[in-house]
Amino acid sequence: MKIKIGTRGSKLALWQAYFVQDQLAKEGVESEIITIETTGDKRLDVTISKIGSKGVFTEEIEEQLKSGAIDIAVHSAKDMPSTLPEGFELIAFSEREQAHDVLISHKTIDFNQPDLVLGTSSTRRIAFLNKHFPHVNTVAVRGNLQTRIKKMKSGVCDALWLAYAGAHRMGFDDMMVHHFDENEFVPAVGQGSVTIEVYRGISDEKKALIRKATNHPETEQCLLAERSYLQIMNGGCSIPVYGRARLENGQLTLTGGIISLDGREQVSQTYTSSPNEGPETGKKLAQYVLDHGGKEILAEIRKQQAED
Ligand SMILES: NCc1[nH]cc(CCC(=O)O)c1CC(=O)O
């Protein structure tokens, strides 16, 4: 059996695909990597929230899954919409890398510097920044990590605000000048884990083998909780919704919330349950957040985005 792995062509996407290929190889499963260009890769001129977040990095790849040109697709779990199109399924989640965010730069960064500019287009990051460091500005810097670093060095911004996981995988540890506390700057749902998507019809045998080689059960339990929360909040990456589950002492702890774009309003909550109750816990958390001001924050954000 030879598994055809589909992936985007960026260096980070290829890292993820090789990572999965390695894990399959350890189980004696042969595979080949096929790269696919997506709308999200082509449209570097506008921010993701303007293209519409839903599946800009996944649509073309899903067409290839559907046609059978590839057997599995490898993605950052964070990039996956909370509801997949009919027939698609995430069957495995890799062990999560450290989930927090970092700043990478070629120089030291002082948050008190009056004209500091950070490169990000994430609404979650901008909202947290407005809450904790309201005087700091941001600029959207798109493109793969290597391109963004070039733009930063040319003076577009002082530092790039990134997920530790991606920056680490690309070998930029030396440039990490700040690590954000993930209790204050809570990561996006799924951050740090690599996931495998399939289309219905894949054989049970293939699925079981792929899961055995690549799935990390504890991470899966966490991600199912986070994604269930995200699904009810109906947020893609263009909504400042965050969520982070952990397994500690045999219990699942899920923290999540939403923050207004100006950073002034925030609703957060934490629930604990048994590890296999993640999906129900995610729903319960979403209900709490929506009922305690989340609905109003969401409505305000949708209004602002419609005006943009
Ligand atoms: N926002 C896009 C995105 N989607 C996945 C990653 C890499 C980190 C991960 O796999 O969680 C990144 C870059 C970033 O946020 O810095």
Residue of 7, 8, 10, 12 best suited for mutating to test ligand 1, as the one with most atoms within 8 Å of CB: 12
Asked whether 162 lines ligand 1 (CB < 6 A), one says yes
Q: What does the pLDDT average to over 176-202? A: 97
- 281 pLDDT exceeds 70? yes
Do 211 and 221 share a domain, yes or no? no
CB of 283 closer than 8 Å to CB of 228: yes
Whether residues 147 and 211 share a domain: the answer is no
Distance 143 CA to ligand 1 centre (A): 12
Shared-domain flag, residues 88 and 10: yes
| pLDDT (tens digit per residue) in 29-69 | 999 999 998 877 766 565 555 555 556 778 889 999 999 99
| Residue nearest atom 16 of ligand 1, based on CA coordinates | 162
pLDDT band of residue 307 (cuts 50, 70, 90) is: confident
Statement: residue 236 has pLDDT above 60: no
Residue 124 — left, alpha, or beta (φ > 0 → left; ψ -120 to 50 → alpha)? alpha
Give the model's confidence band at 235: pLDDT under 50 very low, under 70 low, under 90 confident, else very high.
low
Question: Is pLDDT above 60 for 205?
Answer: yes
Q: What CATH number did the domain enclosing 298 receive?
A: 3.30.160.40
Using the atom order of ligand 1, give the atom closest to the CA of residue 160: 16
Give the residue, out of 191, 196, 244, with the most ligand 1 atoms within 8 A of its beta carbon, to mutate for a pocket test: 191
Residues 222 and 251 both lie in one domain: yes
Stretch 70-85: mean pLDDT, rounded?
95
- Which atom of ligand 1 is nearest the CA belonging to 161? 16
Q: Do both 161 and 295 map to the same domain?
A: no
Q: How far does residue 238's CA lie from ligand 1's centre (Å)? A: 13
| pLDDT mean over 236-242 | 79
Q: Are residue 73 and residue 210 in the same domain, yes or no?
A: yes
Q: Beta strands of 127-187 (E only): which ranges?
A: 137-139, 159-163, 176-179
The string of DSSP codes covering 174-219 is GGEEEE--TTTSPPPTTTT-EEEEEETT--HHHHHHHHHHH--HHH
- 86 plus 121 within the same structural domain: no
Residue 306 is predicted with a pLDDT of 75
Other C-beta atoms closer than 10 Å to the C-beta of 181 total: 10
Please count the structural domains in the chain: 3
Whether residue 31 lies inside any domain: the answer is yes
Question: By residue range, what is the domain housing residue 276?
Answer: 217-308
Cβ(76) to ligand 1 under 6 A? Answer: yes
Single residue among 121, 152, 179 that ends a domain in this structure: 179
164 assigned to some structural domain: yes
Catalytic one of 41, 71, 79, 115: 79
Ligand 1, atom 8, residue with closest C-alpha: 166
Mean pLDDT of 119-146: 94
pLDDT at 278: 98
Q: In the structure encoding, which two tokens stand for residue 153, read together?
A: 């060095």
Residue 128 in tokens: 């947290």
Tell me: do 60 and 77 sit in the same domain.
Answer: yes
Q: Which tokens hold the place of 212?
A: 């055995």
Return the pLDDT at 234: 78
| Residue from 76, 97, 237 to probe ligand 1 pocket by mutation (most atoms less than 8 Å from CB) | 76
> Is there a domain that residue 188 lies in?
no
State the average pLDDT over residues 134-153. Answer: 93
Is the domain of 236 the same as that of 296?
A: yes
Average pLDDT over residues 193-218: 96
In this structure, is residue 119 part of a structural domain?
yes
CA–CA gap between residue 264 and residue 127 (Å, rounded): 8
261, 289: one domain: yes
Question: Would you say 143 and 150 are in contact if contact means Cβ atoms under 8 Å apart?
Answer: no
Q: Calculate the alpha carbon distances from 56 to 7, 21, 52, 59, 231 in Å.
A: 13, 24, 7, 6, 17
Q: 59 with 207, same domain?
A: yes
Q: Let me know if residue 53 belongs to a domain.
A: yes
Does residue 147 surpass a pLDDT of 70? yes
Q: Is 20 helix (H, G, I), strand (E, B) or coil?
A: helix
CA dist 14 and 133 (Å) reads 35
- Residue 59 inside a domain? The answer is yes
pLDDT at 195 over 60: yes
Instruction: Compute the distance from residue 260 Cα to the ligand 1 centre, in Å.
Output: 21
Residue 186, domain member (yes or no): no
Instruction: Give catalytic status of residue 174 as yes or no.
Output: no
**Mean pLDDT (the chain, rounded):** 93
pTM: 0.93
Same domain? For 125 and 210 the reply is no
CATH assignment at residue 81: 3.40.190.10
- Model pLDDT, residue 43: 61
Within-domain flag for 146: yes
